[in-house]
Amino acid sequence: MKFLHLVFLNLRRKRTRTALTLGSFLVSLFLFGILMTIKTALGSGVDVAGADRLVVRNRVSLIQPLPFAYRDRILQVPHVREATFASWFGGYYQNMKNFFPNFAIDVERYRLVYPEYKFSDEEWRAFVEDREGCVISPPLAKKFGWKIGDRIPLEATIWGGTWEFNVRAIYETDRKELTSPELWFHYDYLDERRAFYKGLVGWYIVKIDDPANAVEAAAAIDDRFANSPWESKTETEKAFAAGFANQIGNIRLLILSIGSVVFFTLLLVTGNTMASAVRERTGELAVLKTIGMNDATVLFLVMAESIVVAVIGGGAGLALAKLFTLRGDPTGGMLPNFYLAGRSLGLGFVLALAAGAAAGILPALGAMRLKIVDALRRV
Amino acid sequence: MVRVDGKGSGALVEIRSLDKKYRRGGEEIDVLRGLNLDVDTGEFIAFMGPSGSGKTTLLNLIGGLDNPSSGMVRIAGDEISKLSGRKLAAWRARHIGFIFQMYNLIPVLTAFQNVQLPLLLTSLSKAERRKHVEAALDLVGLTDRMHHYPRQLSGGQEQRVAIARAIVADPSILLCDEPTGDLDRAAGDEILDIISRLSKEFKKTIFLVTHDPVAAKRAGTLLHLDKGTLLECTADGQFACKPEDSGK
């Protein structure tokens, strides 16, 4: 540790070079942070998916509906404990920039299938009793300053016209990934007022007795509706959410590819910087060895320099990414869970450290193996 | 006492049958051949000889910076040619101070910090280190320049800082490789005065490599290296005797 000040002094020798190397770490880790945030946002459905829940949708596509009558038939399938449904509404508040997910739900059973959303009994009762009532999430309430009792007009993109809702409940949950801006309202209200698709729902959510029976239950549900005009496709909620996220491409592969390229470029940039730094200081390293510094300490000095750059640059990049994500979803509702998770921050930090160490190792080994006599001859 | 016949015993520096060969372009070059040397504590020896005669190589071998091809270097009872790299580094820190022709100060460190470097390898406290550094800088007359960077010092001052760095850990042996080679006569004389003082007052054992006969005259013993062999010279620069019957 006595030599740590030498590490910082060395970094100040070529300030432009150090600044550029720091900048490359900063930009790379900022990019990493944003990519991880997008990945988290797109995959948040996967993370919150219940292991004991199945999603039943139209075999043709998610856009195609299923009959309302399927609910009771699904409830008769072995291993099924509960079944509810929801339909996409697609409304926005005042203008399209204020778009957020909103669904018509099965008021009777939705709460039974999703116990992770908490309500006071009083609020829930008020919601159930008001046909035009709605439930909103805390982020939505915060975003528009809505509170219980407010009347909200939404423009319907699919069904047309302005629909008005009364805020009757704001749910609570301990899980951050569940708190995206969203609104639920009565399916009956939707079905009564819309001009088409009457008696149809978007998808079913089924609670089963044991996750181990998921395959059997899914097959049984699909068999039940085989060869009907509304054939179904049943899968676990996790698989459904992953499939939904993958509709815009293989995010994981995309992020992995970009991350690998960035990481490799960082290695080259930092490795080159450290190699140049060691080459310029060959004589000084020889002097340090001459006065009694051992090889391990020389190795440490060069490695520390590389790692310090990585930690400062990478840390700054991650901090900027965190600041950026604190502003919330920049897409106006496409990425509701837009936040940089602590796990992603940790991973980014570890990656920066690894890049710093990997970039420094070869120059450090070169410095360690430096023969004093040869190095002094070059001074 | 200084002997080059290999017949001494118990000296601070004992070198026996020392060979050093280099391979250059597929050709083997004998730099040092069967060299013997005994040097007692407090001696001041100057090595002279033509370029390529092996003066710096001999200095490097005494300082444990290089390994001999064969033979033995024993200093203060330690056969340094048999020490591992780690032990040799620790041994150097304890016993040897180096002074180079080009000073070799670290440009981003002040004079104080440069001098302090060898002490960072010891267990001394910060206050103790400060005391030692100030004493060393005082000895070379640079206490008023301790917070200056090398670029703010003259060549002579830089070399004085380098001397302070070499002596700050109180080594028993000082190895000086042409310490005045890059200085004018006045600055060179100042440096030689300090080195002479270190020999006389502080009883340091000093090995000085030089091409300058004036610098060499400061030494108590002048040894001439030629074709890898040591010869002792008289004060007027004549070879007094053959290596095999030399003794002082």
- The predicted-structure confidence for B121-166, as pLDDT tens digits, reads as follows 999 999 999 999 999 999 999 999 999 999 999 999 999 999 999 9
Is residue A175 a contact partner of residue A116, using CB atoms and an 8 Å limit? yes
Per the CB < 8 Å rule, is A290 touching B98? yes
Residue A53 belongs to a domain: no
Chain A residue numbers with beta carbons less than 8 Å from the beta carbon of B120 are 2-3
**Cα A44 → chain centroid:** 6
**pLDDT of amino acid A42:** 74
Assess whether A122 and A92 both reside in one domain.
yes
CA distance, residue A348 to nearest chain B CA (Å): 32
pLDDT of residue B204 exceeding 90, the answer is yes
Per the CB < 8 Å rule, is B100 touching A376? yes
Instruction: Centre a 10 Å sphere on the Cβ of residue A327 and count the other Cβ atoms it contains.
Output: 8
Question: Mean pLDDT in runs of 10 for chain A (379 residues)?
Answer: 84 91 93 87 63 90 91 94 94 88 92 88 93 92 92 92 94 71 93 91 93 91 93 88 68 80 87 90 92 92 93 96 85 70 92 93 93 82
Q: For A363, list phi and psi in degrees, rounded to 5.
A: -60, -35
Per the CB < 8 Å rule, is B85 touching A12? no
Is residue A302 a contact partner of residue A367, using CB atoms and an 8 Å limit? yes
At B248, is the pLDDT very low, low, confident or very high (cuts 50, 70, 90)? very low
* B135: exposed, middle or buried (Cβ count in 10 Å: 0-12, 13-18, 19+): middle
A149 torsion bin: left (phi>0), alpha (psi -120 to 50), beta (else): left
Q: DSSP letter at B233?
A: B
CB-closest option in B89, B94, B104 to A293? B89
At B240, is the pLDDT very low, low, confident or very high (cuts 50, 70, 90)? very low
At B245, is the pLDDT very low, low, confident or very high (cuts 50, 70, 90)? very low
- Taking any CB pair shorter than 8 Å as contact, residues of chain B touching chain A are 60, 63, 65-66, 85-86, 89-90, 92-94, 98, 100, 102, 104, 106-109, 117-118, 120-121, 165
CA dihedral A238, A244, A245, A250 (to 10 degrees): 100
CATH number at residue B215: 3.40.50.300
A187 torsion bin: left (phi>0), alpha (psi -120 to 50), beta (else): alpha
Closest residue of B to A13, CA-based?
B108
**Cα B18 → chain centroid:** 18
Assess whether A106 and A183 both reside in one domain.
yes
Q: DSSP letter at A172?
A: B
Is residue B33 a contact partner of residue B227, using CB atoms and an 8 Å limit? yes
Name the residue among B104, B93, B240, B226 with its Cα closest to residue B171: B93
CA dihedral A157, A162, A167, A168 (to 10 degrees): -90
Is residue B163 a contact partner of residue B208, using CB atoms and an 8 Å limit? no
| Residue range of the domain that includes B229 | 40-64+90-243
Dihedral sign, Cα of residue A104, residue A108, residue A111, residue A114: negative
**What was the ipTM of the complex prediction?**
0.89
Assess whether A86 and A182 both reside in one domain.
yes
CA distance, residue A10 to nearest chain B CA (Å): 7
Number of helical H runs and strand E runs in chain B: 7, 11
Chain B residue numbers with beta carbons less than 8 Å from the beta carbon of A2 are 120
Residue at a domain's end among A171, A199, A230: A230
Residue A368 belongs to a domain: yes
Chain A residue numbers with beta carbons less than 8 Å from the beta carbon of B106 are 6, 284, 287
Residue B85 belongs to a domain: no
Name the residue among B243, B205, B195 with its Cα closest to residue B223: B243
A11 torsion bin: left (phi>0), alpha (psi -120 to 50), beta (else): alpha
- Range with lowest mean pLDDT among A232-246, B68-82, B177-191, B229-243: B229-243
Chain A residue numbers with beta carbons less than 8 Å from the beta carbon of B165 are 291
Instruction: Centre a 10 Å sphere on the Cβ of residue A222 and count the other Cβ atoms it contains.
Output: 17
Residue B18 belongs to a domain: no
* Residue found under tokens 């901090």: A319
Assess whether A17 and A97 both reside in one domain.
no
Is pTM beyond 0.95 here?
Answer: no
Domain count, chain B: 1
Chain B residue numbers with beta carbons less than 8 Å from the beta carbon of A288 are 117
Per the CB < 8 Å rule, is A10 touching B60? no
Assess whether A68 and A216 both reside in one domain.
yes
3-state secondary structure of B191: helix
Assess whether A335 and A201 both reside in one domain.
no
Residue A125 belongs to a domain: yes
CA distance, residue A260 to nearest chain B CA (Å): 36
E strand map for A195-297: 200-201, 203-208, 232-236
CA distance, residue B166 to nearest chain A CA (Å): 8
Q: Which residues contact A11 (CB under 8 A, 6 or more apart)?
A: A18, A305, A308, A309
**Cα B42 → chain centroid:** 13
Dihedral sign, Cα of residue A166, residue A169, residue A172, residue A178: negative
Chain A residue numbers with beta carbons less than 8 Å from the beta carbon of B121 are 291-293
Q: DSSP letter at A121?
A: H
Residue B227 belongs to a domain: yes
Is residue A230 a contact partner of residue A66, using CB atoms and an 8 Å limit? yes
Residue A236 belongs to a domain: no
Chain A residue numbers with beta carbons less than 8 Å from the beta carbon of B100 are 287, 376, 379
The number of CA neighbours under 13 Å toward the Cβ of B247 is: 7
Residue B111 belongs to a domain: yes
CA distance, residue B8 to nearest chain A CA (Å): 29
CA distance, residue A6 to nearest chain B CA (Å): 8
CA distance, residue A287 to nearest chain B CA (Å): 7
Assess whether A200 and A262 both reside in one domain.
no
Per the CB < 8 Å rule, is B60 touching A373? yes
| Residue range of the domain that includes A36 | 4-44+250-378
CA dihedral B151, B155, B160, B165 (to 10 degrees): 50
CA dihedral B106, B111, B117, B122 (to 10 degrees): 180
Per the CB < 8 Å rule, is B89 touching A284? no
Per the CB < 8 Å rule, is B121 touching A372? no
Average pLDDT over chain B reads 89
Q: How far apart are CA B166 and CA B143, in angstroms?
A: 16
CB-closest option in A13, A286, A292 to B121? A292
Q: For B67, list phi and psi in degrees, rounded to 5.
A: -105, 140
CB-closest option in A9, A13, A291 to B118? A291
Residue B218 belongs to a domain: yes
Per the CB < 8 Å rule, is A379 touching B86? no
Q: Which residues contact A219 (CB under 8 A, 6 or more apart)?
A: A234
Residue A240 belongs to a domain: no
Per the CB < 8 Å rule, is B86 touching A294? yes
Domain count, chain A: 2
Q: DSSP letter at B123?
A: -
Is residue B166 a contact partner of residue B196, using CB atoms and an 8 Å limit? no
Assess whether A220 and A362 both reside in one domain.
no
